[in-house]
């Protein structure tokens, strides 16, 4: 497959280099919000949306910054951009779906510190993607994040029913589970070279 093609970029961000399980981005919500499947689903939707918005805007901002030779401001402008898109999502949700807004609660503002979102913006810049490639990349990353967190939530819901030794409480077992999930995702590595 051509590593530059849109479908390959999508697939690569979605499965081969899954943002959570292969690149270790966005682990805070991955551990924190994966206790129930429906919260995990809502969280992944909100994250994917913020990812898409911020990556599209980051593309435009990067054009402007490169034009004026201001690359050293990139990080600061990206983070400000992400913070404002999160604020936007917060306002939209509050207006149109107060129930969902309450369900997400504390996790919504925390999307700002989700490294997966900044990761998307930074990677697309460093890899020199054009506009369509950036869009495809951010969609793939959002879908990959959703896939990982929902799989994890499903596993953890099953675990609640089982009798576990005391020491596996808290995050220890989640980490082990994530390790096994990550192992299975390594199987996708055969799909193509790292892009």
Site residue total, other proteins (CB under 8 A): 54
**79 vs 195 by CB, closer to other proteins:** 79
CA distance 70 to 49: 28
Q: Return the DSSP state at 5.
A: S
Give CA–CA dist 126/131, Å, rounded: 14
> C-alpha 151: how far from its chain's center?
14
Residue 169 in contact with other proteins, rule: CB under 8 A? yes
Q: Near other proteins by CB under 8 A, which window of 43-51, 52-60, 144-152, 177-185?
A: 177-185
Which residue of 109, 154, 159, 191 would you call a contact of other proteins, by CB under 8 A? 109
Q: Does 1 engage in binding with other proteins (CB under 8 A)?
A: no
Range list of H helices, the chain? 6-11, 27-32, 37-67, 74-96, 98-104, 107-110, 115-126, 131-159, 171-186
Chain residues in the site for other proteins (CB under 8 A): 21-29, 31-32, 35, 72, 75-76, 79-80, 83, 87, 90-91, 94, 105-106, 108-110, 112-115, 117-119, 122-123, 126, 166-176, 178-180, 182-183, 186
């Amino acid at each position: 497959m051509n590593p530059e093609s849109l479908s390959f970029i999508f697939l690569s961000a979605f499965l081969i280099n899954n943002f959570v399980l292969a690149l270790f981005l966005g682990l805070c919500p991955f551990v924190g919000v994966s206790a129930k499947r429906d919260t995990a689903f809502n969280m992944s939707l909100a994250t994917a949306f913020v990812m898409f918005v911020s990556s599209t805007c980051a593309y435009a901002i990067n054009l402007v910054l490169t034009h004026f030779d201001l690359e050293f401001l990139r990080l600061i402008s990206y983070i400000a951009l992400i913070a404002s898109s999160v604020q936007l999502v917060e306002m939209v949700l509050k207006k149109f779906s107060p129930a969902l807004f309450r369900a997400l609660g504390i996790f919504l503002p925390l999307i700002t510190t989700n490294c997966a979102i900044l990761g998307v913006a930074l990677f697309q810049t460093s890899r020199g993607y054009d506009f369509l490639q950036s869009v495809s990349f951010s969609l793939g990353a959002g879908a990959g994040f959703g896939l990982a967190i929902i799989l994890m939530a499903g596993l953890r819901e099953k675990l609640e029913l089982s009798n576990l030794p005391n020491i596996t409480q808290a995050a220890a077992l989640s980490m082990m589970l994530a390790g096994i999930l990550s192992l299975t995702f390594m199987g996708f590595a055969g799909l193509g070279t790292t892009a």
